[in-house]
Every structure is written in structure tokens, then in C-alpha cells.
Structure 1
Amino acid sequence: MSTALDTLARPISLGKLDLSSRFVMAPMTRKRSPGGVPTAENAAYYRRRAEHGIGLIITEGALIGHPSASHEDDVPRLTPGPAEEGWRLVVGEVHAAGGRIAAQIWHLGGERRPAGTAWTPDTIKGNGFDQLLRAYAESARTAVRAGFDAVEIHAAHGYLLDEFLWPRTNHRTDRYGGSPKERAAFPADVIRAVRENIPAEMPLIVRFSQFKERDYAARIADTPGELGDILASFAEAGADVLHASQRRFWEPAFDGDPANLAGWAKRLTGLPTITVGSVGLDRDRLADLATQDYDLVALGRVLLAHPDWVELARAGRGVRYRKTDEDTYF
């Protein structure tokens, strides 16, 4: 186990972005941004994680500037004005601690929306696609101005872009629906729009998953070939890194092969990958971090209780997740 943790504590580069370690802070919604504006409290929260061995912090999901993105007022936006200034404060604190930080861009789609108000693959009409692409592009430009080191697009867990990928929520018969490649077409358009509005050297991460927030057995791809079609579309559109979210990182993604979802993503595309899923919640599984094929490892809940989890774990101290005052929602 110590060998795996020591290896992950070594520096790595994503293109021209140098990271102090291969540990990543996974995005976790905090619901502590009044009016969608990050505060000094948010900045201090992220800085605490940057101070203790985390190479890259990925923010909680930040909403694009479109009325359909969410109805929640305490989830941060990534839009010009006060929200941009709030994120600039967050970025400044993380950089002052020697860390690097990526902005995660988010649209909830049908999840957590009152009936009849959600924009989903089956309800978007007319120029709605152009509106969304412009909003994603504006959030990307905002991230650049705020000083972020990278951008992540949230295309996982049953939110809007993942709803396009999942045949159960995408019944379109135009170019945005049908085969796995066709279902990936709008997420790929979003990736392309973001890529065109950030510097060429800025890493663009795409987070994807099989499972949904309310359906752990869901799958966007039943075979490696179907997954390859989806991820190839992401790569061709400009994705640099794939963040493969699964509930338990040690579980195989497909029958007959031990590779997890991040391992398959790397095998299918050759791109750097991030694995995530209950890392640190089961101490006996930490040794498995050395047996898989991926580049970075993301930590979620354990960092809420223990911002210094990486240092504690490398020192051989057993630490587990426990609720804290920062664990109000994610």
C-alpha cells in the first residue's frame, strides 16, 4: 500500500501543466455559495486541501449561465460578474498554497429539477442547442479570466450531457440520438465549444460515468466497443483527460477483464485518465491503486473530514470518512 501511495505522491504533468502529485480532489457540491457566488469561506475550504499533497483540485460543479442549468440559489455559477470575482478569490488562495485548480462546468439537465422545468435531451428544441453551446463557451472564457489552470466538463451521473449518452433518457431521432456515437454528438459539441474558448495549452478534462445519481446499475455502454465510440468522440472534439467516475474504483468495468472504467478509457483512447470511487473509504483496497492502469487518483469524501488524508495515509495512519461541519451536502 505504501508503494502505491508513494508513487501517486510523485509529480506528473498534464501537457504543460505541472502537478505536485497524482492525487486529485474530486468535485463535491457544497451548496455554500449564496446567490451562486463563491465566498472567502469557499476559498479557505479549497486552500486547505491544496496545502496537503493534492496535485489538482477540481471544483464543485459550477453552473453555466442559462436559466435551465439549475433552480438552486446556493450552488456556484461560472459566469461573468460577481461569480467570476468569487472564483478569482478561490483560485488565488489555491495558487498561494502551491496548488492547481480546475473549474468543473455543470448543467443539471433533468436531475433535481421541478417537473416541467427541466431541459433534457428530449425537450430541447429550436435554437436551444445553440443557447447551451454559447453558455458553455461563456463559462469557459470566465474560467480562463478567473485564472483556473484547467477546465472539466461534467458529463456524468445523470446530468444533462450524460442524459444524452444514456439511451433511457435520449430518444432523439436526429443527429443527437441513436447509436452510442450519435448520442455522444452533443456532448462532443460542448467539448468542442469549450476547447475553442480556452488556451490551447490548458487541459480540458471530461468526467463521465456509467452509473447515475439515481440508478447505480445504469450503463451508457454495454461493451468496450460502445464505450470506445463515445470516448473517441470526446477525444476528437478536444478532450485531453478523461475522468472516469465509478462508485468503487476496484470493480471491473466489463465482465472478463479486471480493468476498471479509467483503465478502459486509457486503453481505448491513449489519453491520461483519472480514477475515482470510494478511494480511502476502504483501507484494505488502497493496495489496489497499484494494480490498475490510470494516471491520477481522485479523492472525495475522505478529504471532507481529513484535508491532510494523503499525508496521514502515507504515514501509515488509518483514517476514515466521518461527517464534519463541511459535510452538509455533496
Structure 2
Amino acid sequence: MTVKKISASAPAPGAPFFTPAQEPPAGTALVSPDRQDVPTLFTPLTLRGLTLQNRFVVSPMCTYSADDGHLTDWHLVHLGAYALRGAALTIVEATAVAPNGRISPEDSGLWQDSQIAPLKRVVDFVHSQGQKIGIQLAHAGRKASTVAPWHVTERGRHEVAGPDVGGWPESLVAPTAVAWDDGFPTPNELTAEQIEAVVRGFADAARRAVEAGVDTVEIHGAHGYLISEFLSPITNQRQDRYGGSFANRTRLLTEVVQAVRAVIPAAMPLLVRISATEWMEHAHASAPSSSSSPSASLDAAESWTIPQSKQLALALADLGVDLLDVSSGGNNPRQQVDPKRQVDIAGEIRAELLRHGKTSLKIGAVGLVYTAERARDVVQLDEGGQAKADLVFVGRQFLREPEFVLTTAAKLGVKVQPPIQYHRAPYRL
């Protein structure tokens, strides 16, 4: 009897453990991307030296599960699940560049070298699946030192973490000494020297991320955290070179972008997340001229709005930023958010970039992406030949449905590569 010889599985290249090579990676369309019936969602996109096989990005999502800033096995399983199931790019949650820049005592951090190895373990697994991974670098500013949200009983509140649970309410920093809300600590106004230290912190964290092997870095300039606080005239009342004019309020972000761009490889794309609007337009005419609330007394000031985001996008395109991740809100508890407009706002910024010939800066969109059709429509060309975005950033739906890439493909009728170990369980609707 002749025994048929079967070749051994090729190992994933560069992995520090055996796992079969995923060639092509899960989530890759198995038909020509030039075919008219393949939605843009399942076509490749290249940012500098990074090519993604589809347009899905796992948004950075805080999980409040790190050990003194160090990632753990929780993060390996949590983040690895998305890479295994076809997400082209997974971004590690907001990672603090300084201990007092954490949102909570359990936040991810990259302010010291011991935090490199746990991150590299996650990176190695994602790469073993043929997928890409990035990290979001952040400083929480006046919104730091809060407890994990599952400890909060009132919706929309951010309860302070005191020293008894590892918090640092006396060490909060911000552009101006304005508290987040009543009952929250008043932050310390940063000195010029401390601002320089923040910029160095972002650069040092980026160097550590590169050492860990990430494929891209995202700077968190959104959601009312430190950089966002500098951008907004509501929270930035400084009278020095970091406050007042648009150029001054964007100076910290500009300096962070330049510092990070200088320490990451030339072929590595740089991402920036912004809040395109604070959703505070309603307060410009209605806010009281005086109030017992330290933040309410500033609500009548001009806020950060979409036109300023368009102006910022044009500037970032010239600073070596490769993708603008467009979110919104988070800088004032009195915001009035219209989540249905979120993707349209990203589309407005993308159209503004194209009008000025800034084609190198791509746009990522977030917001209410719960269905296959919604994900498709975010990046698909409309009747006028325009798309709202180049990549779709998905958060909560991935938490509900880690296989969202694969189920979306099935619902849209696109044949894609599954994880090879799951070949006997194709997705059926």
C-alpha cells in the first residue's frame, strides 16, 4: 500500500512559537479586488509601508485591566481574538505616556521599559496571524485618576479614584486649572517645562512601541484628554504660546506629532485621533456669564468645531500624519451629541482634504457601525464618486461580535479567507 505524503504546515514567519502560517491572512477577499462586485470594505489600503488587506480597524477600547501599566494575558486573548478573525489592524487601547496620564489606575502604559515585553507578546501573536497592530499613545489630563466605569452607578459620571485605590487626584494636569465638573479635582496648570516633558513622554513611548514591534502609532488628541483640552478654547485659557490663537492651541499636538514622527521609522504610518467637534455649539449663546461651576463659567466661549478640525487636518497633512481618526465629543459633560452625524463629519473633513489636494492624509470614521451594510457604506464610493472615509474603525460591535469581519463578508456575499484552523466551520447565514 502506498501512503500519500502530506507536507507539514509551514510555520508563521518570525513567530516565537509554532502556529501555522495564515497565507493569506484571515479576512482577505479570495476574489480579485478589481471585480466590480467586491465592496471597497474588502479591498487593500496602503499607508506608507503598511498594507492592510481589508478596511476594518479595531478601535482602541479601554478595558481597565492592566497591571501597573503592563499588559497581561487578558490583553493577549482580548486583542488576539480580533486578529485571528480577520481584522486587518488592531489598535491597543489608550496607553499612557506618564503615570499621571492614565485614565484609571488599571490603564495600559508605556512610560517605562518593563512595559515593552508584555506589549511585544501581544504584537507577536497578532503578527503570527498575518495581521497588523498599532498602539494609541495618550495622556488623560484633567480626566485622569478615575475608577473603571463598571464601578460608576450614574450614567455619564466619571468617579474620582482616590489614593486609597491607587489614584492621584492631587496630581492632575491640564492646560488651565479648570475641573472636569462639579465634585471633581481642579487640575494643576502645566508649566512650559512640564509641557516639554509631556512631548518627550510621547516620543519616549513611541520609541518603546517601535521596540515592541508595532506597525503603527496613533496619537490620542480626542475625547477631552490632554491634547484635546489644549485644542479647545473652553478648556485652554492660557495666555502664553500654548493658548489663545488656533496656532497656539494646536501647538502641543504639532510638537507631539513632530516628536513622534522623528523617532518612528520613515515607513511607519502615523495616526492621529481627534474629536472633530465638542458638541458645545448650543452653549455659545445660552451659557450664563457667571456660575458656581468652574467649567460652566467658560461655556460661553467659542468651542472646538468642525471648521477648526478641517483647518487642523490640512496642517497635519503637511506634518507627516498619514491617517486622521475622526471621532467627537468628550471634553465637556454638557455636550449635546448627535451620534448619527459622526460618519458624515468624517466625510466632510475628507472632502476638504481632497479639495486642497491633500491626498496623502487618509480618513478613518467611527460611529454606530453595528451592521455589515453600515460598515460597507462608510468606505464605499457614493453616487458622486466620494467616500466618507478610507477605513472604518469599529469598537463596540467587535466586543459583541469578535468575528464581525467574517460575518460581514458572509452577509455581503464576499468570499474571504477564514482562519485555517477553522476551515470546517464556514460562516452561514
TM range (shorter): 0.7 to 0.9
Write out per-residue CA displacement over residues 95-126 of structure 1, whole angstroms, 9 at most, x where no aligned residue. Answer: 01111011110100111445553211121114
| 2:130 equivalent to 1:109 | no
CA contact (8 A) 1:248 1:277 kept: yes
CA contact (8 A) 1:266 1:272 kept: no
Say if 1:248 and 1:85 are closer, same or farther in 2 by CA, change over 3 A.
farther
State the partner residue of 2:87: 54
Say if 1:188 and 1:217 are closer, same or farther in 2 by CA, change over 3 A.
farther
- Name the SS of the counterpart of 2:39 in structure 1: helix
| 2:60 equivalent to 1:27 | yes
Counterpart residue type for residue 138 of structure 1: D
TM-score under structure 2 normalisation? 0.66
Higher mean displacement: 36-45 or 161-170: 36-45
State the partner residue of 1:274: 364
State the partner residue of 2:117: 85
| 2:325 equivalent to 1:243 | yes
Counterpart residue type for residue 136 of structure 1: F
Say if 1:251 and 1:22 are closer, same or farther in 2 by CA, change over 3 A.
closer
CA contact (8 A) 2:133 2:215 kept: yes
Say if 1:128 and 1:48 are closer, same or farther in 2 by CA, change over 3 A.
same
CA contact (8 A) 1:156 1:245 kept: yes
Q: Give how far 1:68 is off.
A: 2.7
- Distance in 2, Cα, partners of 1:118 & 1:72: 12
Counterpart residue type for residue 60 of structure 2: P
CA contact (8 A) 1:248 1:276 kept: no
Say if 1:220 and 1:288 are closer, same or farther in 2 by CA, change over 3 A.
farther
- Distance in 2, Cα, partners of 1:118 & 1:169: 14
Task: Say which of 199, 206, 224 aligns to 2:272.
Answer: 206
Q: Give how far 1:248 is off.
A: 3.9
| 2:329 equivalent to 1:234 | no
State the partner residue of 2:250: 184
Say if 1:112 and 1:135 are closer, same or farther in 2 by CA, change over 3 A.
closer
- Name the SS of the counterpart of 1:273 in structure 2: strand
State the partner residue of 1:164: 230
Compare CA radii of gyration and give the structure with the larger one. Answer: 2
Aligned length: 307
TM-score under structure 1 normalisation? 0.84
| 2:71 equivalent to 1:38 | yes
| 2:189 equivalent to 1:94 | no
Higher mean displacement: 240-249 or 37-46: 240-249
| 2:326 equivalent to 1:294 | no
Say if 1:7 and 1:223 are closer, same or farther in 2 by CA, change over 3 A.
closer
Say if 1:278 and 1:8 are closer, same or farther in 2 by CA, change over 3 A.
same
- Name the SS of the counterpart of 1:293 in structure 2: coil
| 2:407 equivalent to 1:307 | no
Aligned runs of 1:215-226 on 2, under 5 Å? 221-222=304-305, 224=307, 226=308
Write out per-residue CA displacement over residues 72-95 of structure 1, whole angstroms, 9 at most, x where no aligned residue. Answer: 321111133331110000100100
Higher mean displacement: 170-179 or 107-116: 107-116
Q: Give how far 1:145 is off.
A: 0.2
Counterpart residue type for residue 403 of structure 2: D
- Distance in 1, Cα, partners of 2:56 & 2:376: 15
- Name the SS of the counterpart of 1:168 in structure 2: coil
| 2:107 equivalent to 1:75 | yes
Counterpart residue type for residue 82 of structure 1: S
Write out per-residue CA displacement over residues 108-162 of structure 1, whole angstroms, 9 at most, x where no aligned residue. Answer: 0111445553211121114101111111111010001000001000000110001
Write out per-residue CA displacement over residues 289-320 of structure 1, whole angstroms, 9 at most, x where no aligned residue. Answer: 22333211111101012111121122129xxx
Say if 1:182 and 1:278 are closer, same or farther in 2 by CA, change over 3 A.
same
Counterpart residue type for residue 206 of structure 2: A
- Distance in 2, Cα, partners of 1:75 & 1:21: 29
- Name the SS of the counterpart of 2:51 in structure 1: strand
Counterpart residue type for residue 273 of structure 1: I
- Name the SS of the counterpart of 1:237 in structure 2: coil
State the partner residue of 1:118: 172
CA contact (8 A) 1:249 1:278 kept: no
Q: Give how far 1:182 is off.
A: 2.2
| 2:145 equivalent to 1:63 | no
Q: Give how far 1:43 is off.
A: 1.2
State the partner residue of 1:12: 45
Counterpart residue type for residue 362 of structure 2: P
- Name the SS of the counterpart of 1:41 in structure 2: helix
Say if 1:223 and 1:81 are closer, same or farther in 2 by CA, change over 3 A.
closer
- Distance in 2, Cα, partners of 1:209 & 1:174: 24
- Distance in 1, Cα, partners of 2:281 & 2:340: 11
Q: Give how far 1:283 is off.
A: 6.3
Of all paired residues, the percent bearing the same amino acid is: 32
Say if 1:4 and 1:165 are closer, same or farther in 2 by CA, change over 3 A.
farther
Unaligned runs of 5+ in 1: 318-330
